Amino acid sequence: MLWQNPMAKATFTGESAISLRTYFGRDIKLRHLRLIVAIEDAGQLSKAATLLHLSQPALSKALSEIERAIGEPLFVRSARGLVPNLRGTAMIRAARNVLLELDRVGTEIRDLAEHPTRVLTVGAMPTAAMSFLGRAIALLHERDPGLSVRVIDGVTEGLLSQLALGRLELVAGARLRDSIPPNVRAHWLFDDPMRVVVARGHSLTRRKAPNWDACAAFPWILPSPGHPIRITFENTLRRKGLAPPIRILDGLEIGLVLALLAHADAVNLMPARLAEQLQAEGRLRIIGGDGFADLGIYLATTAFVHADQERTPEVKMLMECLRRVVSAQVLA
């Protein structure tokens, strides 16, 4: 058996080798995922077999099936027992994610069986979720306590694809490009100007009006190249004749942005509403000076809905709550 000599280089070729595409697309089994996770947790085949209530020969046979499909061993023997190699680590990470998601779905289905409810599935950019969507959902619950909302975080374009397929009923995000799927409707909410922000203790906060060169001397956290905000930012600098930052850190997820601001002495471009909220909470500072505080970059914050769902009572109610929340924020 392959597991008997994990340190040896083993390659499966010929008819016995199963196509990786076929394996992951059709032949992979749930018990394979549980098996490799159990081996990592136990560190030994005998202990893993006990955890899974299998005989050791049966477990060894199943492991061989997986390793033949991958074409390489997944574990190596060490002083600590069986330890996953790079391929094994990748497989186990994916297996844990799949098993956790299945467990979560099972719990959700059991809860629905015991407590039937209506669920509205909403996609949200992280900035939207923090700055206004949470308030809108709270207002929705006040109006209709029996309606549950499930929020899926992600980037707008990926969420719009899910919306077009009918897997989401509404997406709160920014209209970054003109084109949207033909069965998706865009409802503009407000234009959110981008602001320059830093951590509370950043040296730039000690300057009353730092100039652009002072800001450009620090690392900047921006979306990856090709992202519409990144493109607009770079075009704006060229139009204004401003030198680009000396170093750029790619980052979009708000938790990562806040961590980089705190620990990398960095600067970030952030939507004004979220920046003002986080500044009020003492988590960052908005800076400006020499006319660059308002770079003329705006996010057209938008609610996207599927054409078939646009007039359903739940979506209409959430749209009303969204508009009420953003209107109240403007007045404030």
64-108 pLDDT, tens digit each: 888 888 888 999 888 778 899 998 898 899 899 999 988 888 887
* 117-190+300-331 under CATH 3.40.190.10, yes or no: yes
Cβ–Cβ < 8 Å for 189, 302: yes
pTM greater than the 0.85 cutoff: no
**Given the structure tokens 């209709």, which residue do they identify?**
144
Q: Which residues of the chain have pLDDT under 70?
A: 1-21, 25, 111-112, 114-117, 289-294, 329-332
CA distance 5 to 293: 63
What pLDDT does residue 304 have? 95
| Domain boundaries, given as residue ranges, for the chain | 2-111, 117-190+300-331, 192-297
Q: What is the CATH number of domain 2-111?
A: 1.10.10.10
- The reply to whether 117-190+300-331 and 192-297 are identical in fold is yes
List the structure tokens of 77. 């023997």
What pLDDT does residue 122 have? 93
| Torsion angles phi and psi, residue 193, rounded to 5 | -70, 145
What pLDDT does residue 15 have? 40
CA distance 294 to 314: 37
**Given the structure tokens 């979009």, which residue do they identify?**
252
What pLDDT does residue 114 have? 67
Domain 192-297, second-level architecture? 3-Layer(aba) Sandwich (3.40)
